Chain A
Amino acid sequence: MRKKQVLIGLIGTKLDTPSGMRRWEEWRPSISLFGFEDLLIDRFVILHQARLEAALERIEADIHHISPHTTFERHCFDFNDPWDLEEVYDKLLSFADHYPFDPENEDYLFHITTGTHVFQICMFLLCEAQYLPGRLIQTSPPLKRRGPTWRIIDLDLSRYDAIAQRFAREQAARVAFLKAGIETRNAPFNQMMAEIEQVAVASTAPLLLLGPTGAGKTRLARRIYELKRLKKQVAGPLVEVNCATLRGDAAMSALFGHARGAFTGAIRERAGLLRQANGGLLFLDEIGELGLDEQAMLLRALEEKRFMPMGADEEVHSDFQLIAGTNRQLWREAHEGRFREDLLARIDLWTWRLPGLKDRREDLEPNLEYELREFSRKESRRVTFNREARQRFMRFAQAPSATWRGNFRDLNAAITRMATLAPGGRINMEGVEAEIQRLERSWQGGDSGPGEVGLVARVLGASVALDEFDRVQLEGVLAVCQRSRTISEAGRALFSVSREQKTTNNDADRLRKYLARFNLHWKDIKTDEEGA
């Protein structure tokens, strides 16, 4: 059984009501809808004003000639002021509430050619909000060489190919922008960036970026800011700060500012970073390093958009979006009382873990291209690899033995060094070999490199008191543990020599006991690896 087609429309007080024979030569929008060869309307729900009652007889008779099977249903619809949006919307809404719509068996078309513009707007709004369960239909008057026309206005924009394609194109462009134009190939990473794009353009809530140092948190925060600025979603500046650099009173004052004379040496008033970020974006990297007092103040600033600068009498206002970065296990920190749970709950809303470079080996090549391009741009000279050198470097870079401990920071440093030393702007085999040795040395050594936090510090906290002798050993053990999927696998790797000699099988137990000396459990190490 075919669904019945029902038209619901207002009789136009001027256009629909001419009388006399000439009316057939005029364009009557409501009547014209029944004369189309490709549109068959079973029922016309006529919305009309009381004073048009007389004209309705004629209108129905005329429609009956051109559409003999159509039935009619009249609804009197009187507006005191048809230009008053509140009144028109209210009357249409109560019609929508009371009309016995039967979408299982009937399709509804709402005619928006007649009525005041306010009426048309209200029809549109109610259709869009699905109070009126159907589609909009519009008629147009005849032109010179063609008769009148009709068309359905479908409000589902995704159904229009051109618009959908445009949306997709713009979105793809924004994602590419976030990735700094690097054509990354790692599927989980690309998916994550697509999600970040969606949230970045749609939300002003805090964003939390996790991931090892050098994974690109800062770069991403900057791109998010640029994207929002291009979309005119932020007017204020991007303010970046690494919380690890803030200590004691200086931290409070740097973040929240101080009044003149707030403490010894506070000679002038200071606005503080939060106030600088007003209307813009605040990137707090290493947010786990923030002291508890600063955390409390930050929470208030996020919730109330107000806070008290040091030594001030009055609160100040600042409205900013927060992006927080961390490499720490914030929930564990919160559990152990080092991080405020309420603050964490506030910022752990949109959380993404940026993978390290070793987990995105397929992205090494596009990032290498990017770094070369950037170097060439900054130094205004073109640098390229020769073919063998490039193959050698990529082989090394993608091998499992390359840990890329400093992630993109390592890659950036490697390219910068090779490019700087490249004779005639051409990186050759010699340069690559030298760089490979340099990288290997830095990854092998206990030396974590500048800014790098060792595994021991990550697992036990930076302030743990430990003999250097134990630290070096534990660092090595933890590295193996992180590479291994199970404790047995780690045990086998760590005790392979003694195992061959003694043919014992309790490697896992031995490892467990070793870790216990530092109050560590296997799952502590692994959760640290796998994230919040």
Chain B
Amino acid sequence: MATITETTKKEVKEIVYSFFAEECEVDIGQINDNTSIIKDLDGDSLMFLELIEMFKKKYNLDIELKVIGKYAVKHPVATIGQLIEMQLLIIEYENRLLELDQ
């Protein structure tokens, strides 16, 4: 289980903001934690999947996508801020993510 530091939080936030700015062709200054991924950015599940794959590689994470899928059913993500929170939990708990609900 990884320890989430302030550096990690900052890094994840920067990656998520940059990713959506590039993918959705919007100015990064227009994105904030309350930005709706679908309504404001026209984001989709493939982008979510791509982002997860990026983090899996970057942090060498051991996590199955279906674990994230099961967690997301109970904790749906709508905004950039919620997505960052989920990514931090994925980095911290990996395949033990579902234990958070127990």
A-B complex is real:
no
Q: Which residues of B contact A (CB under 8 A)?
A: none
Chain A interface (Cβ < 8 Å from any Cβ of B): none
